[in-house]
Structure 1
Amino acid sequence: MDSQQPTVPGAPARCPMHTAEFAADPHAAYDKMRAEGPAAPVELAPGVDATLVVDYQTARSVLQNTTDFSKDARHWKALMEGRIALDSPVVPMMAFRPNAMFTDGAVHLRLRKAVTDSLDRLNIGRIRRDAEPIAAFLIDQFSERGRADLLNDYAKLLPLLLFNRLFGCPAGIGDRLTTSMSAMFDGRDALKASENITACLMELIALKRREPGDDVTSWLIQHPAGLNDEELKDQLVMMMGAGVEPERNLIGNALLLLLSGSSSRGAGMLPEEAIDHVLWNNSPIANYATHYPLRDVDLGGVRVEAGTPLMISFGGANSDPALGAARESLSKGAHLAWGAGPHACPAKSPATVISLTAIEAVLNALPDLALDVSVEELQWRPGPFHRALATLPVRFTPTPGTRVAALHTPAQTTPQTTTAPSHTPVTPSLHPEAKRVRKGFWSTFLDIFRV
C-alpha cells in the first residue's frame, strides 16, 4: 500500500508507533522527536502516515486553533482517495463520524451541547452509587482465587458495565455491546465489532424512544438539539469510546503505580495522587486529537501539508522539559491529558470519580494486594493511541465472594459464591433462580440487582 506522503531525501525517518518497541518505551521516542523539532513524522499503522506534535506549546496552539485546522476527517486526503485501506486498524478511531469529536463550528457546538448537558445530569453521587456495586460484583468473581489480572478481570470490565448502566442498557443489548466494544478496542475484527456496536445502539435508541428512562440515552433523545437517530448513535459511540478505553487505562496505570516500587501504598501515595501522576506521565490516551490542516502550515520549522493527519501527543507534550515547575508540582491545570480548546474532554469530573471509585474499591476489598510479577515483566499493549497495559497480574489473600450479597443485606451473613475461572461471572446464592446459563457479565449483574 502506498504511504500518504513520499519519502523526502534527508527527512527524519518516520517513527512506527504501532510496534511493541514503541509501546515499551514511548517517552524515549518522544524525547528523540522533540530534539528534532516540535513535531515529527510517524507511522500510525502500516501505510498510515501522520505528523505527531510532541512540544507542549505547539500542542496547545493546535488544539485551540479553529481557523487553520479542522477535526473533520473528510479532509484526510489519503483516506478519501482510497490510499488507506478501510480495514486498517486505525481507521475506526480516525474516520469521520457525525459526532462532536469530528465536527467543527456550529455543528460541533450543537452536538457538544447535547452531550455536555446530558453528562451534567450525572451527579457525582449517582456515579459512585452505580460504580460501587459493579466493582463489588467484579471483585467477587476473582476474590476467592487469590490471584487475578486486574486489567482484564477488573479495569477493562468496570467501565464497560458502568456505561451500560448509565446508558440504560437492558440485558441483551448490554451483553452484545460489552463484547463488541471490547473487541474493537482490542483490535479483534474491528469492522465487524463496529457494525455490531451500531446495531446495538440503534436498537437501544429505538427502545428509549418508546420507553424513556433516567439515563444518558433518554436525556440525549429529549435534548432540545433534536438529534436524529444517526446523530444519537454517533454521540453514544463517541461517549463510550472516549470513556471506556481511557478509563481502563487510567485505572490500570494508577493501580500499577500504587502497587510498584517506591510509589507503593507503603510509601504513602494516595489514589488521587496516583491518578494525577498517571495523567501527567502515562496519559491513558497518549496520542490522539487528530487535526487536518486546511492549508500547508509551518510548525516551528516542520512543514505539514494540507489534508494530512496532525496528531497531538498528550504523552509527549506533558513530558516536555519546558514545562518546568508545572511538571515538578504535577499541577492539575497544566497537563493536556484531558485535551484543550473547543474539543477538550467534557467528562473530566465523571471520569475522575469513576477511576477513583474503582481503585478505592479494589484496594479496600483486598488490602494485601501485590503485583504477581516484577514491573519489568509487564507488557504494554501496542497501538499508536493509548498507553495501556496488556495485563496486570496480582496476588492477595483469598477472601469470600460475598460483597454483592452484602450490598443487598448488610446486616446478614450470606452464603459464599462458588469459585469461578477468569472471565466467568457467577451469581451469588442470594438469587438462586438467577444463576447464569451462558449469560454475559451485564445480564448476570442485572439478574443479581434486579435493575
Structure 2
Amino acid sequence: MTDQPTNSPDASGGCPVAHGGDGDLTRLYGPQAALDPLGIYARLRKEHGAVAPVLLEGDIPAWLVLGYRECRWVLDTPRQFSRDSRIWRDWKEGRVEATSPLIPMLGWRPDCVSQDGAPHRRLRGAVTDSLQTVAGRGIRRHVEHFANKQIDAFADAGSADLVGDYAEFLPMLVLTRLFGLPAAEGRNLAVSCAQLMKGGEDALAHNDRIMQILADLAARKRDEPGADFTTGLLGHDAGLDEDEIHNHLRLVLITAHTTTSNLLARVLQLILTDASRLAGLVSGQLQVSTVVEEVMWNTPPLAVLPGRFATNDLELGGQHVKEGDLLVLGLTAGNLDPEIRPEAGISLQGNQSHLAFSGGAHECPGQNIGQAIIEVAVDRLLHRLPGLRLAVPADELTSTASTWEARLDALPVEFTAQAATV
C-alpha cells in the first residue's frame, strides 16, 4: 500500500494505471491492507471523495465506491453499471490472467449474478423459488440440531473460541442439510470457502474443489431426488442446464456461508462486549434481530462487493469512469459515509436501509435463511452456556481483512461447564 495515491488518469483514460501506467495507487490487498481497512477507506475518502482509484490483487485497477448515495446509484442502475464481466476491459485486453485469484470473485459464470435483464430474471427465479421451498421446511430445527452438536463439543470444557469452534462452521453444516450434502462435507467446504474469499494463489484450487463436490452432488440428486435446494434447482421450470445448476449451487453455498458465518461472529462479538445487550437478550427485552441490524450497519459481513462494469463513459462521484472499467462497492464505507451518518453513535434501530444485502435487482435473496441461522445460533448459546462471558479484554480482539471482507480472528469465551445434551 502506498502513501500518496494519485487521481490522474493515464493517457488511455479511465481508471489510473488501467493499462500499466506508473500511478501510485492504494492496494486493497496485502499485509498492510489487512490491518486497517477502515483507515484506508477514510484516507481514500479524504483524498478522492466518494469514488477512489485502487488496485486489486495482481495490481489490477478498479474504482472503489465509498459514498452511500453513489453505491445506491450503481446498484440501482444496471444499464450503466452491468454485472456482466465480459465487458471488463482489463479482462478483454488480456491484463487479467485466467489463473488470477480475482477470477473466482469477478469472472463471468453462467449464474444469475453475472447477468442482467431477462437472463438474470430467469435464473434468479429458479434460485429464489428453490430457496423459499427449503426455507419453509424446518430450517430452524436444522439450525438447532447442528448448534447443539457444535456446543456439545466444548460445553464441558468451560471455555471455547466462538469463531473457530462455532461461527466458522455452523452455517455450512446447516447448508449441507439444505443442499442434500453429507454433513461430513461441511468442514472441508467451509475451509475452501474461507480460502477462496481470502484470495491468494490457492483461491482457484479451492474453487475447483467446491465445484467438484457440487457437480457430484447434482449428479447424485438426479438419481436420488430429495426435499432439498439441489433437487429444487434440477426440477425448476426455468430448465437450468448442467453448468447453470453447478454454478448456482456454488453461488448460494459460498455467499450464504461466508456472509452468515462472518455476521454471526460479529453479532456474538457485539453481544459479549456490551453487558447491557447481553442482559437484554437473556431477559428477553432485546431481540437478536435488533443486534443483527446494528452489525449490518457498522460491520457488514461483506465489506466490498464485487463488482460492476461501466457500460459507457460516465462521471461518478467526480471521477471520469470509462466504458469497461471495474467498480467495486464499499459496503462498509458506504454504510459509514459521513454524508448520511454525520454523528457517531446515533441509533439506527428500525432503519434497514443499509447496504449489507447489496441492492437493486441483485439484492441478496436468502436474507431470511441467514437471519434464522443467526437467531437460533445465538439463542442456543445463551440457553446452553450459563455465565457466558468474554475471556479477554474487548480491546484484545483482532480482525484480519482481505479485499472483500474483514473477519474476526477469534472470540475466546468462558462459561459454567455443562454436560452435553443427550
Question: TM (normalized to structure 1)?
Answer: 0.82
- Residue 341 of structure 1: how far off its partner (Å): 0.5
In structure 2, relative to structure 1, the CA distance for the partners of 1:348 and 1:174 (3 Å cut) is: closer
Q: Secondary structure at the match of 1:248?
A: helix
Q: Secondary structure at the match of 2:207?
A: helix
Partners of 1:302 and 1:186 in 2: CA distance: 29
Partners of 1:172 and 1:365 in 2: CA distance: 24
What's 2:37 paired with? Answer: 26
Confirm or deny: 8 A CA contact 2:173 2:183 kept in the other structure. Answer: no
What residue identity is the alignment partner of 2:291?
A: A
Q: 2:150 aligns with which of 124, 129, 138?
A: 138
Q: 2:261 aligns with which of 239, 243, 248?
A: 248
Cα root mean square deviation, aligned: 2.4
Confirm or deny: 8 A CA contact 2:83 2:308 kept in the other structure. Answer: yes
What's 1:306 paired with? Answer: 323
Q: 1:293 aligns with which of 302, 305, 310?
A: 310
Confirm or deny: 8 A CA contact 1:297 1:304 kept in the other structure. Answer: yes
In structure 2, relative to structure 1, the CA distance for the partners of 1:363 and 1:253 (3 Å cut) is: same
- Residue 60 of structure 1: how far off its partner (Å): 0.6
Confirm or deny: 8 A CA contact 2:199 2:402 kept in the other structure. Answer: no
Pair 1:228-2:232 in alignment: no
Partners of 1:177 and 1:384 in 2: CA distance: 21
Confirm or deny: 8 A CA contact 1:318 1:336 kept in the other structure. Answer: yes
In structure 2, relative to structure 1, the CA distance for the partners of 1:80 and 1:372 (3 Å cut) is: farther
1:375-404 Cα offsets, whole Å, 9 max, x none, are: 322221220111311222222222222x2x
- Residue 125 of structure 1: how far off its partner (Å): 6.3
Q: 2:419 aligns with which of 390, 400, 418?
A: 400
Partners of 1:85 and 1:253 in 2: CA distance: 35
In structure 2, relative to structure 1, the CA distance for the partners of 1:200 and 1:146 (3 Å cut) is: same
What's 1:153 paired with? Answer: 165
Partners of 2:142 and 2:157 in 1: CA distance: 25
What residue identity is the alignment partner of 1:250?
A: L
In structure 2, relative to structure 1, the CA distance for the partners of 1:325 and 1:180 (3 Å cut) is: closer
What's 1:274 paired with? Answer: 291
Confirm or deny: 8 A CA contact 1:4 1:83 kept in the other structure. Answer: no
- Residue 185 of structure 1: how far off its partner (Å): 3.8
What's 1:14 paired with? Answer: 25
- Residue 263 of structure 1: how far off its partner (Å): 5.7
Question: TM (normalized to structure 2)?
Answer: 0.87
Question: When the two structures are aligned, how many residues end up with a matched partner?
Answer: 399
What residue identity is the alignment partner of 1:257?
A: L
Confirm or deny: 8 A CA contact 1:173 1:204 kept in the other structure. Answer: no
Q: Secondary structure at the match of 1:148?
A: strand
Pair 1:82-2:94 in alignment: yes
What's 2:375 paired with? Answer: 356
| Deviation larger for 33-42 or 213-222 | 33-42
1:349-396 Cα offsets, whole Å, 9 max, x none, are: 111111111122112211322222223222212201113112222222
In structure 2, relative to structure 1, the CA distance for the partners of 1:81 and 1:373 (3 Å cut) is: farther
What's 2:388 paired with? Answer: 369
Pair 1:383-2:396 in alignment: no
What's 2:203 paired with? Answer: 190
Partners of 2:53 and 2:124 in 1: CA distance: 31
| Deviation larger for 353-362 or 118-127 | 118-127
What's 1:428 paired with? Answer: none
Partners of 1:314 and 1:237 in 2: CA distance: 22
What's 1:106 paired with? Answer: 118
What residue identity is the alignment partner of 1:32?
A: R
What's 2:133 paired with? Answer: 121
What residue identity is the alignment partner of 1:132?
A: E
Q: Secondary structure at the match of 2:216?
A: helix
Q: Secondary structure at the match of 1:67?
A: coil
What's 2:7 paired with? Answer: none
Partners of 2:198 and 2:304 in 1: CA distance: 17
| Deviation larger for 240-249 or 183-192 | 183-192
In structure 2, relative to structure 1, the CA distance for the partners of 1:186 and 1:312 (3 Å cut) is: closer
What's 1:65 paired with? Answer: 77
What's 1:426 paired with? Answer: none
Confirm or deny: 8 A CA contact 2:169 2:187 kept in the other structure. Answer: no
Partners of 1:182 and 1:250 in 2: CA distance: 14
1:299-330 Cα offsets, whole Å, 9 max, x none, are: 03111222221011111111112224996434
In structure 2, relative to structure 1, the CA distance for the partners of 1:203 and 1:174 (3 Å cut) is: farther
What residue identity is the alignment partner of 1:258?
A: I
Partners of 1:85 and 1:293 in 2: CA distance: 20
* Structure 2: gaps of 5 or more residues: 1-15
* Structure 1: gaps of 5 or more residues: 406-451
- Residue 264 of structure 1: how far off its partner (Å): 4.6
In structure 2, relative to structure 1, the CA distance for the partners of 1:151 and 1:46 (3 Å cut) is: same
Partners of 1:218 and 1:329 in 2: CA distance: 40
Q: Secondary structure at the match of 2:109?
A: coil
Q: Secondary structure at the match of 1:42?
A: strand
What residue identity is the alignment partner of 2:112?
A: A
Q: Secondary structure at the match of 2:407?
A: coil
In structure 2, relative to structure 1, the CA distance for the partners of 1:135 and 1:51 (3 Å cut) is: same
In structure 2, relative to structure 1, the CA distance for the partners of 1:81 and 1:325 (3 Å cut) is: closer
What residue identity is the alignment partner of 1:219?
A: G
Partners of 2:17 and 2:312 in 1: CA distance: 20
- Residue 108 of structure 1: how far off its partner (Å): 0.8
1:73-116 Cα offsets, whole Å, 9 max, x none, are: 22222233332344443331121111111111211111000001
What's 1:321 paired with? Answer: 338
Partners of 2:22 and 2:322 in 1: CA distance: 13
Identity within the alignment, %: 34
1:266-305 Cα offsets, whole Å, 9 max, x none, are: 4765422221111000000011141000122210311122
Partners of 2:191 and 2:333 in 1: CA distance: 32
What residue identity is the alignment partner of 1:134?
A: F
What's 2:357 paired with? Answer: 338
